[in-house]
Amino acid sequence: MYLDIFFKVLGGLGLFLYGMENMSKGMQKMAGERLKKILALLTTNRFMAIGMGVVVTALVQSSSVSTVMTIGFVNASLLTLKQALGVILGANIGTTVTGWILVLQIGKYGLPMAGAAAISTMFFTSEKARTRAMTVMGLGLIFFGLELMSNGLKPLRSMPEFVSLFHAFSASSYSGVLKAAAVGAMMTAIVQSSSATLGITITLALQGLIDYPTAVALVLGENVGTTITALLAALNGTANAKRAAYAHTIVNIIGVIWATSIFRYYLHFLEGFVDPVHNITAAIATAHTMFNVVNVCIFIPFIGYLANFLCKVVKPDSPIVKERVTHLDILMADTPSVVVEQTKSEILAMGSQIKDIFMRLDNVFSGRENIDNQVPKIEALEDRLDLYQKEISDVNFHILNGTLDNSNTEETRENIQTCDEYETVSDYLLRIAKTLKKMQDNGIELNEYKKSTLNKLHATVEDLFEDINRAYELRDKDSFVAAIKKCNNIKEEYKKARADHLEHVSENVMPAMLSTGYMDILNNYRRIKDHLYNIVEVFAKIN
């Protein structure tokens, strides 16, 4: 009998967690476009931040995902601490939606729901339809898992030893309330899912193994236990990321303190909404929602004070810590659509810095600047672009190894290749600058014809880069196709310049460094054209 109980509860919990994961991933994919707009909603308005936290958490069906994502935003300097605190408060409210899903109590329909959805994925060809089916399958597994756990726990009602065990942490006294809250916190910290422990709490209450006050006390503790995920995520984060994680824990602990200190009055307040005798599931869901709503209302006026307190308690980052150059962080990987959108912004930032390098070389060729002044600045820009490539690649390869839909997978691959090609372009521009400096240091001067040829080739390649960068920003396939003509023109310019040079080499004696240096510069511009053409091939879908 004990083994049978254990297997049913374990299987039910496993299906419940797997269902939550599937439903969460499905919801994230369906909400992808909305999540992409999240960056545009970042604001200093605390009410907007709270609302954003509520909406995002309700969409992804996981407070852990939204809080860890928020920590990632803070770590990447996309969110200030005060903005993050607002989002986290909103996430506490958004996570209560799960409880109301469980109120539906359609456990016996969970298995056919999951089965029908699973079978339908075999026939759907549309990505959207498959995502919806996966979400429904997850929902079905949640209810089926709850049903299995409920059936597994039924025999415990007739076992005195288990009844006395559950009564040991009954919320019949203040110490009992604290004990039950501690159990709820510990369970959630272990499972790292407040939804799972909420489901277990509802199951225990439905089987009569715990009473309503004990269930409410467990739910209070679960709000503290769920903060462990954000704390773990912030361990290697910036000072502000740690402050945001600590704030999440502080807010929920203080909330539990006030709720447990007036526990009897709090229960009486809750019973005014739903009678636990007639609907215990709805009563527990109400307790979960009301606690978080009231707690958020209490903390709204104190967001600024809490942020200031945490800034004093948590030491700022050491000045020797190298700052990130992008606004991407590995903790944002739980919301791939946001990563994809932010990556595009970071690659456009790379484009702006490459334009800066082109401009500096343009000043050198036109005689407005000396190459000695420009090489250190170009080197600094190229080093920065190396960091851009590393940070963009790290996060994007991480999400590429996860479960992305076809659209995001294709866009991520396009972004990675564009990033790589941009960084390589900057390498060749630096080589051109270094070659010019080497020639100058050795007293080698280009004649007017060679200067004019390089100046023209430089301007043409720069023009091609700007066209491709603009086409990437607009995702305009026609502009990419139009760039092919410019690539061919550059190829012809290069061939003509090379042929002219080789002809003059055979006719005139010139310093070897002049000949090789000039040819190196020509070849580097040709290679830049080749790498830009690689981007054209990706977006114009040239086979």
Most confident of 218-232, 233-247, 320-334, 386-400: 386-400
CA dist., res. 377 & res. 494, Å (int): 27
Rounded mean pLDDT, 466-486: 93
Closest CA to 332 of 237, 418, 415, 399: 399
Q: Does 97 have pLDDT greater than 80?
A: yes
Please tell me the pTM assigned to this model: 0.76
Average pLDDT rounded to a whole number, residues 291-316? 90
Predicted confidence (pLDDT) at residue 528 exceeds the cutoff of 80: yes
- The closest of 369, 64, 460 to 233, measured between CA atoms, is 64
Q: Give residue 532's identity as a one-letter amino acid code.
A: L
Q: What is the 3-state secondary structure (H, E, C) of 419-485?
A: HHHHHHHHHHHHHHHHHHHHHHHCCCCCCHHHHHHHHHHHHHHHHHHHHHHHHHHHCCHHHHHHHHH
Residues 144-172 pLDDT 10s = 887 888 788 777 766 676 667 666 677 88
**What is the pLDDT of the chain when averaged over all its residues?**
86
Stretch 244-269: mean pLDDT, rounded? 93
Q: Over 80: is that where the pLDDT of 273 sits?
A: yes
Name the residue among 452, 454, 444 with its Cα closest to residue 512.
444
What is the DSSP-derived secondary structure letter of residue 331?
A: G
Mean pLDDT of 169-183: 87
Average pLDDT of the segment spanning 444-448: 84
d(CA 420, CA 453): 28
The 3 state secondary structure assigned to 40-54 is: HHCCCCHHHHHHHHH
Angle between helices 336-365 and 406-441 (to 10 degrees): 20
Q: What is the mean predicted confidence (pLDDT) over 203-221?
A: 90
The pair of three-digit structure tokens given for residue 534, joined into one six-digit string: 């690689």
> Which of the pair, 520 or 27, is modelled with greater confidence?
520
d(CA 274, CA 214): 16
Check whether 530 has a pLDDT greater than 90.
yes
**What per-residue confidence (pLDDT) applies to 460?**
95
pLDDT band at 443 (very low <50, low <70, confident <90, very high): confident
Radius of gyration for the alpha carbons in the chain, expressed in angstroms and rounded: 31
- Indicate if the pLDDT at residue 213 is higher than 70: yes
pLDDT at res. 214: 93
Round to whole Å and give the CA distance between 342 and 69.
Answer: 13
Quick check: 141 pLDDT over 80? yes
pLDDT at residue 222 greater than cutoff 80: yes
Residue 504 has pLDDT above 90, yes or no: no
CATH class of 330-540: mainly alpha
Average pLDDT, integer, range 242-252: 91
Domain boundaries defined on the chain: 2-158+165-313, 330-540
Residue 521 has pLDDT above 90, yes or no: yes
Confidence of residue 278 (pLDDT cuts 50, 70, 90): confident
Instruction: In whole angstroms, give the CA distance from residue 275 to residue 315.
Output: 48
pLDDT for res 486: 93
Per-residue pLDDT, 538: 92
How many Cβ atoms from other residues are within 10 Å of residue 272's Cβ? 8
Spell out the SS3 assignment of 176-215. Answer: HHHHHHHHHHHHHHHHCCHHHHHHHHHHHHHCCCCCHHHH
SS3 content of the chain, % helix, strand, coil (to 5): 80, 0, 20
For 336-399, give the DSSP string.
HHHHHHHHHHHHHHHHHHHHHHHHHHHHHHTTSS-HHHHHHHHHHHHHHHHHHHHHHHHHHHHH
Task: Provide φ and ψ at 235, rounded to 5°.
Answer: -55, -45
Percentage, residues of the chain above pLDDT 70 = 92
